[in-house]
């Protein structure tokens, strides 16, 4: 039987910023034992310290999800403090912005290694442990891009489509095999104001931005809700809900409108030289839950109105 959140042991990857950091702090505040992982150990220790100061239980473990040995190491750490791992959250996601042909092939390859291979490694470790204990919830961070392929994020969107497909396939395999107490849930946010945008490799020639960004709190809340009420697909917020429904009814029109929106937003932003972001090495910047993108966008839009 799946335990309540306050009795659960939870593993979260990509917990040094954004959704992962927010979910770690929220789940720890609710009484869960939380094991967090990312490449930036100093930031993980900061997250653990923040949680501990408020009575939470968080253990930091440094690692890179693209390393096949990372997920088994995380599982061993978790089982070292608990008899079971109840929830596994695959949160890591890196980006590469720009026309597909302008992004170096090394960046595309690295993105797939993190967003897809890393998620498969984590899912494999989680599902096999869940089968041994006959319960568990696997939560994968997808995107509205899982449903709608977005221009200027081609390989990112491809990996997020794969995340959704994997979750659907896993749920059917678990059903066929009789594992009724094991569920897989895919979280699908709209564009959200987190450090992801500044961490993404960028070949657009401009600072990153997107229309009508959501606050990360609604995604953190959706992740926490899925820990006790998992659903196969969870579009987060009305924009994600409307756009995914629109794409199923009018795929061509929806893809064209979202592509045009992305292209228009790029031209509004300040100029920026190409860079690889945190694809290959972690960046010291961007350790918060919120990314400050909306604040910069308001400044950019205000300047253009002068």
**pLDDT, tens only, 21-34:** 999 999 999 999 99
Kindly state the average pLDDT of the residues 237-255: 96
How far is the C-alpha of 277 from the C-alpha of 178, rounded, in Å?
43
Question: Would you say residue 305 has pLDDT above 70?
Answer: no
Average pLDDT, the chain: 96
* More reliable by pLDDT, 2 or 69: 69
Angle at 40 between CA 34 and CA 41, to 5 degrees: 60
Domain enclosing residue 92, as ranges: 5-305
Per-residue pLDDT reduced to its tens digit, 32-84: 999 999 999 999 999 999 999 999 999 999 999 999 999 999 999 999 999 99
Report the alpha-carbon angle 240-117-184, nearest 5.
Answer: 50
CA distance 29 to 168: 31
pLDDT of 306 higher than 70: no
pTM, 2 dp: 0.96
pLDDT, tens digit, 9 for 90 and up, residues 166-182: 999 999 999 999 999 99
Closest CA to 203 of 99, 95, 94: 99
Q: H helices of 114-250, where?
A: 118-133, 154-177, 196-199, 216-226, 237-249
Q: Give the whole-angstrom CA distance, residue 125 versus residue 128.
A: 6
In this predicted structure, the answer to whether residue 304 has a pLDDT above a threshold of 70 is no
Residue 207: band (very low, low, confident or very high) from pLDDT cuts 50, 70, 90: very high
Dihedral sign of CA atoms 220, 225, 227, 233 in order = negative
Q: Residue 12: is its pLDDT beyond 90? A: yes
For residue range 118-147, what is the model confidence (pLDDT) as tens digits? 999 999 999 999 999 999 999 999 999 999
Percent of the chain with pLDDT over 70: 99
In this predicted structure, what is the pLDDT of residue 1? 77
Supply the CATH number for residue 136's domain: 3.40.50.720
Query: Is the predicted pLDDT of residue 103 greater than 80, yes or no?
Result: yes
Asked if 123 contacts 186 with a C-beta cutoff of 8 angstroms, the reply is: no
Q: What is the DSSP letter of 292?
A: S
Distance CA 75, CA 129 (A): 8
As a whole number, mean pLDDT of residues 90-111 equals: 97
Candidates 107, 206, 98, 209; CA nearest to 151 is 98
As for how many domains the chain has, the answer is 1
Cα–Cα distance measured from residue 29 to residue 33, given in angstroms and rounded to the nearest whole number: 10
Four-residue CA torsion sign, 56, 61, 63, 68: negative
pLDDT tens-digit map of 153-166? 999 999 999 999 99
Beta strands, E only, the chain: 9-13, 33-38, 57-62, 87-90, 96-97, 136-141, 182-189, 201-202, 233-236
């Amino acid at each position: 039987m799946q335990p309540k959140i306050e009795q659960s042991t939870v593993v979260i990857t990509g917990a040094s910023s954004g959704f992962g950091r927010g979910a770690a702090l929220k789940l720890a505040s609710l009484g869960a034992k939380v094991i967090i992982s990312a490449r930036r150990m100093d930031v993980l220790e900061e997250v653990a310290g923040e949680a501990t100061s408020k009575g939470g239980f968080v253990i930091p473990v440094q690692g890179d999800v693209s390393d096949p040995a990372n997920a088994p190491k995380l599982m061993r750490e978790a089982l070292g403090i608990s008899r079971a791992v109840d929830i596994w959250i695959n949160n890591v996601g890196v980006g590469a912005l720009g026309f597909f042909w302008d992004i170096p092939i090394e960046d595309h390859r690295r993105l797939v290694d993190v967003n897809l291979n890393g998620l498969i490694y984590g899912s494999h470790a989680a599902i096999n442990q869940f089968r041994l204990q006959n319960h568990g919830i696997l939560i994968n961070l997808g995107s509205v891009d899982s449903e709608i392929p977005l221009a200027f994020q081609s390989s990112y969107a491809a990996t997020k489509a794969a995340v959704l497909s994997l979750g659907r396939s896993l749920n059917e395999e678990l059903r066929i095999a009789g594992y009724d107490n094991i569920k897989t849930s895919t979280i699908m946010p709209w564009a959200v104001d987190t450090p992801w945008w500044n961490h993404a490799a960028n070949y657009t020639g401009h600072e990153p931005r997107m229309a009508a960004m959501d606050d990360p709190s609604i995604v953190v809340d959706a992740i926490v809700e899925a820990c006790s009420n998992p659903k196969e697909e969870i579009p987060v917020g009305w924009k994600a809900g409307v756009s995914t429904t629109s794409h199923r009814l009018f795929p061509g029109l929806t893809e064209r409108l979202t592509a045009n929106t992305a292209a228009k937003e790029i031209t509004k932003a300040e100029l920026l030289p190409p860079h690889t972001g945190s694809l290959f090495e972690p960046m010291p910047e961007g350790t918060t839950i919120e990314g400050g993108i909306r604040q910069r966008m308001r400044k950019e839009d205000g300047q253009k109105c002068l």
